[in-house]
Amino acid sequence: MGYLNPDQQKEIRLKQEQKLSKSYYDRVNYFCQRKRLGYDKRNHRVKGLSCNNWSCARCRPKMKQELFYKVVTASMVFGLDKHIILTVPGRNYRNKVTVEESFELLRYDFMKLRKVLKYHLGDIEYIAMMRSQTDGYAHTHMLANKFIPQAFLKKKAGKYPNIGFTSIRQNTDVAKYLTNDFWKDHEYVIPDGKRHYSCSRNVAPYMAKNNEKSEDIKSFELNDNYNIFSQIEKVVYDESKYPVPLETMLCYLKPDIRPRIGG
Ligand SMILES: [Zn+2]
């Protein structure tokens, strides 16, 4: 058996990483609509609540849609009609840095670059979205309200080792991004636990989670160490003094499986 040179090792590792994260994103989170339940007092119904993870194939389309409307609204309110793209450098860099590291490092340099831009141009309103390129490595789509001359951006960004390609365009490019790349699924395959967007302070209220949960719904999390049915029974009884709904009881007739309830 021969040895693998660093390039070959790198290639194998990259393929494994990609395979891992893609398949991870292609499935529905096992706990989605199983772990957290909601008891709807008004309709006397128990239902499984969505997990709201970007990696969950059931939740992601809905979350993308929500993010899209928020981004569009904020863009109109703050005039975020400039589209800035930052990517990590090319091949040599990527041979040394893993996909996961690239997200951490780009975020770090992006934060520093933002401070420099603020120093020269004043406050900038923006939304920045960390995404994956087709090979998995990090890049940022930033929508901003201030025009930054390309040469200036390139010069400033050039001081940071984790930023390679930069581009800034206006108007049609924002629309093009929001109707094309924004929706591409591979863009969302980013390391677990990394934030999918960040924004300036004034924009933040427009990006906040809308709490659409009605006051009639009592949400609770199941604890695997206790009998599931009695946990549901307790919540339903505490809230309404009714017994558990029949359809929910039927779900738990076979105690070795935990079925998905409601939806
Ligand atoms: Zn989910």
Give yes or no: residues 90 and 155 share one domain: yes
CA of 165 to the centre of ligand 1 (A): 34
Q: What is the pTM of this model?
A: 0.80
Q: Is residue 248 part of a domain?
A: yes
Q: Is residue 6 part of a domain?
A: no
Total domains in the chain come to 2
Placement of tokens 């695997």 in the chain: 224
Q: How far apart (Å, rounded) are the C-alpha atoms in residues 173 and 141?
A: 11
Give yes or no: residues 148 and 252 share one domain: no
Last residue of a domain, one of 149, 179, 202: 202
Q: Look up residue 25 and give its amino acid.
A: Y
CA of 48 to the centre of ligand 1 (A): 10
CA of 260 to the centre of ligand 1 (A): 12
* Mean per-residue pLDDT pooled into runs of 10, the chain (263 residues): 69 63 79 90 91 90 95 96 95 91 94 94 96 92 94 94 92 90 91 89 91 78 88 94 88 60 53
Give yes or no: residues 96 and 146 share one domain: yes
CA of 89 to the centre of ligand 1 (A): 33
CA of 85 to the centre of ligand 1 (A): 29
* pLDDT the model gives residue 224: 83
Give yes or no: residues 31 and 94 share one domain: no
Q: Which two tokens stand for residue 161?
A: 């080792």
Q: How far apart (Å, rounded) are the C-alpha atoms in residues 105 and 162?
A: 6
> Domain holding 178: CATH number?
3.30.70
Closest CA to 147 of 127, 171, 131, 163: 171
Give yes or no: residues 190 and 227 share one domain: no
CA of 157 to the centre of ligand 1 (A): 37
Q: Is residue 53 part of a domain?
A: yes
Domain containing 236: what range?
24-58+214-263
Q: Is residue 69 part of a domain?
A: no
CA of 50 to the centre of ligand 1 (A): 5
DSSP-H helix ranges across the chain:
6-25, 60-78, 91-96, 99-121, 150-157, 172-179, 204-207, 228-240, 246-251
CA of 261 to the centre of ligand 1 (A): 13
CA of 138 to the centre of ligand 1 (A): 24
Q: How far apart (Å, rounded) are the C-alpha atoms in residues 99 and 85?
A: 18
CA of 65 to the centre of ligand 1 (A): 14
CA of 30 to the centre of ligand 1 (A): 8
CA of 34 to the centre of ligand 1 (A): 9
Give yes or no: residues 96 and 197 share one domain: yes
CA of 58 to the centre of ligand 1 (A): 5
Give yes or no: residues 155 and 232 share one domain: no
Q: Is residue 261 part of a domain?
A: yes
SS3 content of the chain, % helix, strand, coil (to 5): 45, 15, 40
* pLDDT the model gives residue 102: 93
CA of 53 to the centre of ligand 1 (A): 6
